[in-house]
Structure 1
Amino acid sequence: MHFCQRSFAPWSFVLLALLIENGHVPRLLSAEDVVDVGARRELFIDDVLIGSMAQTRRQLHHPVPRKIAITHDAPWEGAGCGYHTIIQDGDLYRLYYRGSALGVEDGKLRFGKQVYCYAESRDGVHFTKPNLGIVEYEGSKENNIFWNKVGVHNFAPFLDTNPACPPEARFKALGGTASEGGLFAFQSADGIHWSLMQKEPVVTEGAFDSQNLAFWDSSAKKYRAYFRTFTEGVTTGKVWKPAGFRAIRTASSADFLSWEDNADLTYKDSPVEHLYTNQVGPYFRAPHLLVGFPTRYIERGWSDSMRALPQRKEREKRSKAHLRYGTSLTEGLLMASRDGVHFERWNEAFLRPGAERPDTWLYGHQYIAWHAVETKSSLPGAANEISIYAPEGSWIGSSNSLRRYTLRLDGFVSINAPWEGGEMITKPIRFQGEMLELNFATSAAGGIRVEIQSDSGTPVPGFTLAESEELFGDSVNRTVTWKSGGDMSKLSGQAIKLRFVMKDADLYSFRFSDAK
């Protein structure tokens, strides 16, 4: 079925009536009402650009489980391996994680010696553990340990993309706990050999008993840090007295040593919940969007459903040390921000515990690694995809694993239209470029047509719905065309609206670009 003017007319009139009924009528705009998107790729992970929707919705998508990427089975690793960091450095994927023989023995929590380990991959799918020869463990340096000093509980590296970054500090990291005095700053030239940037901690007010991280924000042109706090709590010397809920705090810095602008994260339409890790960072295809994968922590207690979950005997064993060790559950969430402080957080789980099987539905399960990376698809000829990673098997036995999950590029959230059809109109935007490109997927019978409107909502001649060529398929980068072609250069710099009329389709992102 092709979209034609006659077939669109019946439900288009209904949609127009719905828009008018909901108060979407033209009005005079000020400069502040127009969002300047330039040539950025824009996703629908937040609602900043959405003006109105009729018979469409924002649809949260979920990562698809793939094979285990690495098993932490060395004597210095153990079931407490966690706080994973993934860095895509050219064609090398660098993996950092804490090793610890965490578990329960005789009704007591057991912490083994903590070390930080390194692994790497050329495809982001299979990781190997190089013999680094740096840190001695039980009389031998034949291991993949690179750090065992201050900050070893939660060492979180990143690749510094600040243009002014000196070569010796190409990699940086934060790490430390309240008992150590706070977060310390580290640097490295090669990502393997590390040193302190100064002896004193650089952030001292917080709880820090989580994966605390930092990165260079190229849009804001400053460093940002995100670390654990509580909704209420006080620091007395080196002792943090928690109260309320586990929460996330941020700060910023020009030099990575002096931090200011401390602020607790706020959320749009989300309840107060326990959030463990935060995993905030720039999305690699749209770095102006800060995307986070916080861990939600839920204390369930004993019930028939809890007893029905996998490995009940192990669960009961851990509960002897503390009820929450056996009956608390964790899962991954999704959130996004443009200013680094106010986030839109999806209340529905992004990465659920999934199918019941051994080593899942545990406290410590689905702590998503920091951060998402781009990998090749397993389907020959298909577009690249997003890979994220999360552990399973924590607190059980002598090892755990890191599983890879995949998602289409920009595929966190889509504008979804059913078979009956629907539409979405953006807020007024201003762009730079010549062509409009979409990341979308349709059924064989579905499609998307695009109309360009003035900021008052009037269709622009040459770019009306009737002149739009229908798009169908499944592409991360398709150019929109009209009867006269796809050149939009005469509209560049003007305030316009985009009207997407869709049927059995998902729209993931759009961007303006120069003609190829």
Structure 2
Amino acid sequence: MRPVVLTLLLVLVSLAEGQQRLLDYDGRVLPAQASPAWKHHGGRAVESIVDGRWVVRDVSDFSRMVRLADVKTRYERQLHELSFQWSSTAHDTFAADGMSVQYAGRRFRLFPILLPDGRSVLLTGTLQGCLLSEPSCHVKLPEDFHFDAAKLNQYRVRWTTNRANDYGFELWVNRTRVGILPGEILSGRGVALAMEFRSGRHVVDDVRWSVLEKGIRLVDVRTGHALEQLAQGRRQLFLDNALIASRSGLKRVVNPPEKYQGNPVVRANQAPWQTFRAQLYGTVLYIPEERKFKMWYLAAPRFPWEPPVTKDGRQVCPNFQFTAYAESTDGFHWDLPELGLVDYNGSRKNNICKLATECAEGVAVVYDPRDQNPSRRYKAFYWEHAVPYQGSPVKPINGMSVAFSADGKLWTEHPANPVIDQASDSGQQALWDPDHNVFRSFGRFGAGGRKVAMSQSVDFLDWSPSRLVLAADEKDGPRVQVYGMGTTFYEGLFVGLPWMFHEGTTEKLDVELAISRDRLNWHRVADRTVFIPNGKPHEWDAGIIFTASQPLQVVGNTIFVFYSAVQGDHAYNALEYAQPGDADYQKFRQRATASIGVATIRRDGFVSLDAGAEGGKLVTHVFPWPGDTRLHINADLTEGEMVVEVIDKAGKVCACSDVMRGNHYESEVDFDRALATTPQASLQLRFRISNGKFYSFWFK
């Protein structure tokens, strides 16, 4: 058998009317020499052209990708077809993607596998990955169809886009229709084709991707959502361009929150049950009617190699994960009240909540004043997992669980836990989505590694199958991963703070910004600029930063951002650095423990559109003026000024504001004439700014 071959010659080719050839690669040159080139994305392999085919052998974590475009405007009923030939002698995927087609928020993966016993199977990507060991990844082939992965098979994939962006992929193998496979959701709007191998020899030839039917152009879904939110009186931030028709002279700037000088506010060495970790794999909520912040955090007593501890008289592992509680009136100074609920090492004088039987990691708490049952006012969503230790009895559990409480301290576990039979190994998010009247959870459960999946529930008990919604991509670089993501529902948006793990380079975790308007399609903000940076090498947050569940808590004109941090990076390991009794052991302990801090930022201040002395302007999309309301702005014009104009579609000025100066958190805009006589179905706003920072605008 010839070794693997993949040939590409990338051009735009005119087909019949309404048709377009996106990709036509015939193997005459190596992919790296094609135009545009298939970029090398990692690993090693021996590549050659043999008989007009791309041959890949001696593979080690090898991948190439050709990126075709970014979809600016979505289409409904647009028909695509991808065809290619491929032979594979891989005995397993080893978590590689095989062939991966990405189109505007959807992905389809396929991988033919030749088993050691000579049988062949065909795998596809699911939420669980693209794995031989995962039953959901196995494609059911027709009973009378003989499939041999090692032969050069002809594959054809067709899909038709739809408004909901949840279409499937119709597959043919050697002219035999196999069926419609579900595909996967994927963040971003990229159009790309990739090949990833970790074993075997592969031959790929005649790769063609065509748009057979152009379809019906849709209004940009993000713009449509922004117009709805504007009509509802929600603030319009500049985390994306959804409501911006044009802008010039304005730079989108990420504004990192200001870290509190007194950090950490809850310390690892503050109590004996948290000397290893006081970590916000947990939640901080501001309860307005009580004018109080409440915190639930992971408390781990000791390092894994130290002596065990006891919980309610039962011996447990030294790094058992308790859920501790703290409260504050200002967000900076915290009390750890004695709850008297859990016996820790023979004493109930501690702030440990009575929550889960086994380790509860990443407790995401929702305060739900709508619930008529006061015993369910607080709801918790967490990963519960048993850690057997020296023969002590444990409850066999490893999945996502829930519990309920009247006060957030004494909890009742749901008797049918786990509610999602999948593990997480990280912090979770849970929140109420008021626009759709459902609870949403975000975490690693079902994501297939260090990625983010989502599930939803109307009652906090029955949860939908998890769906992958955010993962690192080729722009992040090799081995960068999304460790988790703090998520808050803010002014009609899902605002995410993804924890970016730079594995293999710095080994650190920092925090970026991401948003979603539909909870499924996530977009990274401002070209992935860091939002919460690591501290300096000697500072407590130099290495690893995680945020709380619902990390953005709004109090007046201030947003509190709660996070936990470790001074050392993710590569720390006691066996590599020091052991108890060694001279450097205390230094290692200090760098490896986790504590909790807070940062603050101006309301709506995540990003701003900044203008210099030369000035800049922004024009919104056309919108109907929202009833009997007045325009308000949030802008810092301390050293500058702003003028707002109401214009019609032709650009004619219908009204103009006074010159605005100073620092405006929530200021009404006064115009020089009434708008009552102006046709209001087709108005736009034009903001002219100089030497200022523009954060948001809204109507009320």
Is the partner of 1:186 in helix, strand or coil?
A: strand
Deviates more, 1:131-140 or 1:37-46: 37-46
Tell me the residue number matched to 2:363: 155
Match in the other structure for 1:419: 613
Partner-residue secondary structure (3-state), 1:59: strand
State which of 248, 267, 270 in structure 2 corresponds to 1:71: 267
Partner of 1:324: none
Aligned counterparts of 1:394 and 1:54: Cα–Cα separation in 2: 41
Task: Report the Cα distance in structure 2 between the residues aligned to 1:447 and 1:159, rounded to whole angstroms.
Answer: 41
Residue in structure 2 matched with residue 135 of structure 1 by the alignment? 342
Match for 1:500: what amino acid? F
Q: Which has the higher contact order (CA 8 A, sep 6+)?
A: 1
Distance 1:49 1:270 in 2: 28
Please, which moves more after superposition, 211-220 or 388-397?
388-397
Percent identity reads 26
* Equivalent-residue separation in structure 2 for 1:154 and 1:330 (angstroms): 17
SS in structure 2 at match of 1:359: coil
**Could you tell me which of 535, 542, 554 is aligned with 1:374?**
554
Which residue is 2:399 aligned to? 182
Q: 1:457 to 1:87 in 2, by over 3 A?
A: farther
Per the alignment, residue 293 of structure 2 pairs with: 93
The structural deviation recorded for 1:204 is 2.0
Superposition map of 1:414-493 within 5 A: 414-430=608-624, 431-444=626-639, 446-454=640-648, 456-461=649-654, 463=655, 467-484=656-673, 488=675
SS of 1:397's partner is helix
Match of 1:198 among 407, 412, 415: 415
1:275 to 479, 482, 493: 482
CA deviation string 1:377-420 (max 9, x = no partner): xxxxxxx3111122234665375432221111110011111211
Q: State the 1:358 CA deviation.
A: 3.5
Alpha-carbon offset, residue 202 of structure 1: 1.3
CA distance in 2, matches of 1:394, 1:198: 39
1:121 to 2:321 alignment: no
Shift of residue 70, structure 1, vs aligned partner: 2.3
Describe the superposition over 1:54-83 as per-residue Cα deviations: whole angstroms up to 9, x where unpaired.
Answer: 121221111111122222321101232211
Per-residue deviation at 1:441? 0.6
Contact in 2 for aligned 1:434/1:492 (Cα 8 Å):
no
Q: Which residue of 1 aligns with 2:523?
A: 344
Give the CA deviation at 1:230. 7.1
Determine the C-alpha separation between the residues in 2 that align with 1:159 and 1:489: 42
Pairing partner for 2:380 from 169, 173, 196: 173
Change (3 A) 1:277 1:373: same
Is the 1:280–1:292 Cα contact (8 Å) retained in structure 2?
yes
Residue 191 of structure 1 deviates from its aligned partner by: 1.2
Query: In the alignment, which residue of structure 1 is the partner of 2:80?
Result: none
* Counterpart in the other structure of 1:292: 496
Structure 1 residue identity aligned to 2:534: P
Q: Is the 8 A contact 1:100 1:112 kept in 2?
A: yes
User: Per the alignment, in what secondary structure is the counterpart of residue 342 of structure 2?
Assistant: coil
Distance 1:31 1:279 in 2: 27
1:355 pairs with 536, 547, 550, which one? 536
Cα drift, residue 491 of structure 1: 6.3
1:210–1:101 CA distance, 2 compared to 1 (3 A): same
Distance in 1 between residues matched to 2:412 and 2:468, nearest whole Å: 29
* TM-score w.r.t. length of structure 1: 0.75
Q: Note the 1:203-352 alignment, pairs <5 A.
A: 203-205=420-422, 207-229=423-445, 233=448, 242=449, 246-260=450-464, 262-266=466-470, 271=475, 273-283=480-490, 286=491, 288-301=492-505, 328-346=507-525, 347-352=528-533
1:291: Cα distance to partner?
A: 1.0
CA distance in 2, matches of 1:138, 1:41: 50
Q: Once the 2 structures are TM-superposed, how far is the Cα of residue 41 of structure 1 from its aligned partner? A: 1.4
CA distance in 2, matches of 1:397, 1:177: 26
State which structure, 1 or 2, has the greater radius of gyration over its C-alpha atoms. 2
* Counterpart-to-counterpart distance in 1, 2:462 and 2:678: 44
Distance 1:493 1:270 in 2: 45
* Cα shift at 1:102: 5.7
**Alignment-derived partner of residue 397 in structure 1:** 589
Residue correspondences, number:
423
Q: Cα deviation per residue 1:237-291 (whole Å; 9 max; x = unaligned)?
A: xxxxx5xxx10011111111122263211589983541112111212xx2x1111
- Is the partner of 1:472 in helix, strand or coil? strand
Amino acid at match of 1:116: T
Q: CA deviation at 1:189?
A: 1.1
Give me the whole-angstrom Cα distance separating, in 1, the residues matched to 2:660 and 2:596: 38
Q: 1:80, 1:394 within 8 Å by CA — same for their partners in 2?
A: no
Deviations 1:134-189 (A, max 9, x none): 0000000000000352451222212125x355322111011125772311111111
**3-state DSSP of counterpart to 1:168:** helix
Seen in structure 2, the aligned counterparts of structure 1 residues 360 and 488 have a Cα distance that, compared at 3 Å, is same
More moved, 147-156 vs 119-128: 147-156
CA distance in 2, matches of 1:490, 1:57: 35
1:366 deviates by: 1.9
1:512 is aligned to 2:693: no
Separation in 2, partners of 1:507, 1:496: 20
SS of residue paired to 1:172: strand
Matched position secondary structure for 2:375: helix
- 1:46 is the counterpart of 2:253: no
Match of 2:558 in 1: 385
Distance in 1 of aligned mates of 2:628 and 2:220: 20
Partner of 2:601: 407
Q: In the alignment, is the contact (CA less than 8 A) between 2:253 and 2:610 conserved in 1? A: yes
Where structure 1 has 5 or more consecutive residues not aligned to the other structure, the ranges are: 1-28, 234-241, 302-326, 377-383
**SS of aligned partner of 1:276:** strand
Q: Counterpart of 1:265 in 2: which secondary structure? A: strand
The CA deviation at 1:116 is 0.7
Please tell me whether the aligned partners of residues 131 and 144 of structure 1 are also in contact (alpha carbons under 8 angstroms).
yes
Letter in 1 for 2:434: S
Q: In the aligned structure 1, how far is the partner of 2:628 from the partner of 2:469?
A: 35
TM-score normalized with structure 2 length: 0.56
Partners of 1:151 and 1:432 in 2: CA distance: 53
Q: Secondary structure of 1:129's match?
A: coil
Cα deviation, residue 472, structure 1: 1.2
| SS across alignment from 1:81 | strand
Q: Which amino acid aligns with 1:70?
A: V
- Structure 1 letter corresponding to 2:523: E
Paired residue secondary structure (1:406)? strand
Instruction: State the AA in 1 paired with 2:495.
Output: V
1-side partners of 2:426 and 2:473: how far apart?
25
Name the CA shift for 1:393/1:266 in 2 (closer, same or farther; >3 Å): closer
1:304 is matched with none
Instruction: Classify 1:359/1:124 alpha carbon distance in 2 versus 1 (closer, same or farther; 3 Å).
Output: closer
